[in-house]
Chains A and B, each alone.
Chain A
Amino acid sequence: MAENIVLNIQNVDKTFGGLQALSNVNLQIEEGKIHAIIGPNGAGKSTLLNVCIGRLEPTSGTVRFDGEIITGKTPYEINQAGVARVFQTPEIFPELTILENVMIPALAKRDGAFSFNPFKLMSDETDILKEAEHVLEDMGLIDQMHDHSGSMSRGDKRRLELAMGLVQRPRLLLLDEPTAGMSRADTNATIETLIRIKERGMTKVIIEHDMHVVFSLADKISVLAQGAIIAEGVPDEIRGNPKVQEAYLGGAH
């Protein structure tokens, strides 16, 4: 059981000045599962994700990936260890083409954090090209892959963002509201894609507002409210949990 834990968040506290953003968060993510983190606005969901990828350092507590402590490591080291993140507001390379946007993370996976070979030609990178095309096909972006990514619609940018995460085939993929800003049809397509990848054994943590997405995807749900985990369980348990309903439907102050 214990060896199946991919990400282990232990006693994590995070304060910003006087504000307690996370208090004593403990969370274990199991291998191959889709784990959703839900909670009202300002509950600390994004802070938690940022602690996991090295954007923020926790005030106290540790995050272990695959048994190794990753708190205090730089974002690129954490990525190279096998944690990729899909951002909520699309963080793409707007000056590059869609295809190049996906080839960049594929190169990171193959070349590591730094490699210097200015005499290789991009046109010889057929393996990288194939990987990128494969993912773009999955995401339905293959027809426009030579277009500039800066001029894509917001929904398409979200799909590109997802493709950039998937092409690295990370052991752990952190998704920050992957369907926000998408049409219903796109949302359903994204859910299908995520389920398909689940079968390949990629562990995912999803932060999501859309309950439809959460309940159709998640194996396990953790509920975060005011920086603390107030409930955890399989979707059916969460649906019936009175504490969760209170947190969501307004703790009538």
Chain B
Amino acid sequence: MKIFKLSRNDTILMLGFAIAILLMPIWLQPIGAAYPDLLQKFAIFGLFAIGFNILFGLTGYLSFGHAVFLGIGSYTTVWTFKLLSMNVVPAVIFGTLLAGLFAVVIGYVSLRRTGIYFSILTLAFAQMSYNLAYSVLTPITNGETGLRVLRDDPRVLDGLFGVVQEGSPVGNFFGINMQGYPGFYFCAVVLIIGFFISLRIFRSPFGLKLTAIKSNQNRMRYTGFNTRPYLLWAFVISGMYAGMAGSLMAVTDPLAGAERMQWTASGEVVLMTILGGVGTLIGPMLGALLIKYFENIFSAFNESALHDMFSFLPSLLENLMVTVVHPFVGDGWHLTLGTLFMVIVIFLPGGLVEGVTRLFKRRKSDGVSAKNPGPES
């Protein structure tokens, strides 16, 4: 089928990605990250970052308010749960679509400016939504308590098909409850589809035009392109990815709060993308993995865990190591992340992906020079 066509290298990349994601419960076991809650987060934030990269990586427009779509996706999903059905399919579809609709409006206004002004406009929209969710929109968002599904919500469709909820309602995929591993696999499949779409966008004339806009937007205009609708589409697509990620958050845990839209959440996806590699295909996924790993695993290291880790050393050295390492883990995990971020931005502006490619290139050229020594050597 033409829709699924990929070049040979891309097919390998696609298969590799799918296998790596689906096998995460196995290969993340040794580093202690293979529990369903965290795996779900990996998949959800990977999707968020991959979508963000379609805007930031291809067009160079840095949105600082993408978390607003995360929030919209979550709220819409919970409302769909409440009103229609606990089935996740309509919930995810509505969450994605409504986020897309908001993206049209926010994008249309924000894209009138470029550079820092664009970033500030998107940030303003997100903060505005965040504050509205706490104040005037309380009837929709349930304010600080957060929006949750209740046992006596109408759920028209479920009632129609005679689906009965026992206990507190959870999202289900035609009967399979979306918690624990099933929840992860659902998110993983959505992520893999999202990655495939992103790959195809990167390889399309549309993607090439977006890259050209990043490179020299003025020239694009004199070359005969109306750049505005291209940018708007990129913005809407990445907004829909964010909306979908927000939906998945509510799917795995049927609760939506306004803090999801705060500027820190918008900043996080920027960090993920830059850390992994802006404009690369797998970079955003790597960044999401790294940051979520740090946030959840590194932050859990406390002093006694450190003492265990260094217990093989003489006690004086053990105490010294614990003192040195302690500020970087536990509550101080931000320090490690910050340092890592700085090192990468300074030495590897292309992110982790650039680091890996460089390593491969060096190894390759080492191999070549060892086989056929040049005339000088």
A and B bind: yes
Q: How far is the CA of A104 from the CA of B230 in the complex (A)?
A: 14
Option from A75, A93, A105, A118 in Cβ contact (under 8 Å) with B201: A118
Q: Which of B133-141, B211-219, B264-272, B350-358 contacts A (4 or more CB under 8 A)?
A: B211-219
* Cα–Cα distance between A125 and B226 once the two chains are bound (Å): 21
Which chain A residues border B223 with CB–CB below 8 Å? 76, 79, 104-105, 108, 164, 168
> Which of B205, B211, B224, B237 touches A125 (beta carbons < 8 Å)?
B205
Are A114 and B230 within 8 A (Cβ)? yes
B371 at the interface (CB under 8 A from A): no
- In the bound complex, residues from chain A placing their C-beta under 8 Å from that of B209 are 104, 107
A96 close to chain B: CB less than 8 A:
yes
- A126 CB → nearest B CB, Å: 12
Q: Would you call B215 and A116 a contact (CB within 8 A)?
A: no
Cα A76 to Cα B214 in complex, Å, equals 17
Q: Are B204 and A100 neighbours in the complex by a CB distance under 8 Å?
A: no
Instruction: Name B's interface SS.
Output: helix
- Closest partner residue, chain B, to A124 (CB atom): B5
A85 to B252 CA separation, bound complex (whole angstroms):
55
A122 contacts B208, C-beta separation under 8 Å:
yes
A69 at the interface (CB under 8 A from B): no
Query: B220's closest neighbor in chain A, by CB?
Result: A104
Q: With contacts A104-B223, A105-B224 known, is A118 near B215, CB below 8 A?
A: no
Chain B residues within an 8 Å CB radius of A115: 206
In B191-214, the 8 Å CB interface with A consists of 197, 200-201, 203-209, 211-212, 214
* Bound Cα distance from A121 to B208, whole angstroms: 10
- A30 to chain B: closest CB distance in Å? 24
Tell me whether B360 is interfacial, beta carbon within 8 Å. Answer: no
Given contacts A93-B215, A95-B215, A96-B215, contact A119 B222 (CB under 8 A): no
With A and B bound together, what is the CA distance between A235 and B214 in angstroms?
A: 43
**B206 near A93: Cβ-Cβ < 8 Å:** no
Q: Within 8 Å of chain B (Cβ to Cβ): is A28?
A: no
B222, A79: Cβ atoms closer than 8 Å: yes
Complex: A75 Cα to B226 Cα, angstroms: 9
CB pair A75 B222 closer than 8 Å = yes
| Contact among B205, B211, B218, B225 for A113, CB-based, below 8 A | B225
Number of residue pairs spanning A and B whose beta carbons lie under 8 angstroms apart = 101
Q: Known contacts A76-B224, A76-B225, A93-B219: does B211 contact A122 (CB below 8 Å)?
A: no
B364 part of interface (Cβ distance < 8 Å): no
Instruction: Known A103-B208, A117-B205, A118-B201; judge A80-B224 contact (CB<8 A).
Output: yes
Residue B362 is within 8 A (CB to CB) of chain A in the complex:
no
Residues B224 and A121 in contact, CB atoms below 8 Å apart:
no
**Are the CB atoms of A85 and B7 closer together than 8 Å?**
no
Q: How far is the CA of A79 from the CA of B223 in the complex (A)?
A: 6
Q: Indicate if A109 sits at the interface (CB-CB under 8 A).
A: yes
> 1/0 per residue A106-150: CB within 8 Å of B?
011101111111111111010010000000000000000000000
| In the assembled complex, B324 has its CB within 8 A of some CB on chain A | no
- CB of B222 within 8 A of CB of A118, answer no
Could you tell me if B205 and A122 are in contact, using CB atoms closer than 8 angstroms?
Answer: yes
Q: Which residue of B lies closest to A116 (CB)?
A: B233
Evaluate contact between A75 and B221: CB separation under 8 angstroms: yes
Q: Which of A75-91 contact B (CB under 8 A)?
A: 75-76, 79-80, 85, 87, 91
A59 proximal to B (CB < 8 A): no
Task: Give the complex CA separation of A74 and B229 in angstroms.
Answer: 15
Contacts of B204 in A (CB 8 A): 117-122
CB atoms of A113 and B226 under 8 A apart: yes
Q: Is the CB of A95 within 8 A of B7?
A: no
B164 at the interface (CB under 8 A from A): no
Q: Is the CB of A79 within 8 A of B215?
A: no
| Most chain A CB atoms below 10 A, which of B221, B224, B225 | B224
- A91-B216, A107-B205, A114-B230 given; 18 more Cβ-contact pairs under 8 Å: A74-B226, A76-B226, A85-B222, A93-B216, A93-B219, A96-B215, A100-B212, A108-B224, A114-B225, A114-B226, A116-B206, A116-B233, A117-B206, A118-B197, A119-B3, A125-B205, A164-B223, A168-B224
Query: Would you list 27 pairs from A and B whose C-beta atoms are within 8 A, ordered by A residue?
Result: A74-B221, A75-B221, A75-B222, A76-B222, A76-B223, A79-B224, A87-B222, A91-B216, A93-B211, A93-B212, A93-B216, A94-B215, A95-B215, A100-B208, A100-B212, A104-B212, A104-B223, A113-B224, A114-B226, A117-B204, A117-B205, A118-B201, A119-B3, A120-B206, A121-B203, A122-B205, A122-B208
